[in-house]
Chains A and B, each alone.
Chain A
């Protein structure tokens, strides 16, 4: 079974440009999450999709960030326009559909390292 995949693995862009990150979750996983780790800090939650719906987007830093998950499969995270402080590693994770109080592991992708210059 393929794991969570993310594309690209690295991206270097200039301030003011637009970047789109893609995440393909594990097949059949309804839950998809985006996280970000800024240099030297802890990994921070951005948002959570259940299928194509945004369950929780409380961690999105501002309206320059737009996440979509059309069709409930892969997801994209667009940053427009990028700022210097957006540099970091963007992780995607997925987990199985929720069932009662059963808690499933979140399986992480390797991340996209974004550098804004």
Chain B
């Protein structure tokens, strides 16, 4: 059974703060790591798909890094805004079944104005 862990479970920050969260996963048979942003009652929004060790991806104020050898990925948000408040999910795909994503429980981010 794959275990994808996200930390912290929840995070409260002030507008303008920069923040980061962690996704940890087993490094064996790695295929891809997906990051999603999810607001309740809406569709989870795909942020990044990362496949190569050392990958760094950026979309606006959000960026992510990947270390497949040690089994972790970091998501960074620079200058948090209230509209960044959401649950951030990571999901792992392994080589034997690339379409099946195993999700972590998510990090709930609340940005206070």
Contacts and interface: CB of A to CB of B under 8 A. Distances in A.
Interface in A27-71: 31, 33, 35, 41-45, 48, 50, 55-56, 58-59
Interface residues of A, number: 29
A91 interface: yes
Interface string A11-36: 00000000000000000000101010
B42 A58 contact: no
Contact of A59 (B45, B51, B100): B100
B104 A42 contact: yes
Interface string A54-98: 011011000000000000000000000000000000010001001
B22 to A, nearest CB: 16
Interface residues of B, number: 26
A30 to B, nearest CB: 11
A55 B106 contact: no
A1 interface: no
Interface in B24-63: 31-32, 34, 36, 41-46, 49, 51
Contacts of B99: 31, 33, 48, 50, 55-56, 95, 106
B88 interface: no
A48 B99 CA distance: 7
Interface of B: 4, 31-32, 34, 36, 41-46, 49, 51, 89, 91, 93, 97-106
Interface of A: 3-4, 31, 33, 35, 41-45, 48, 50, 55-56, 58-59, 91, 95, 98, 101, 103-111
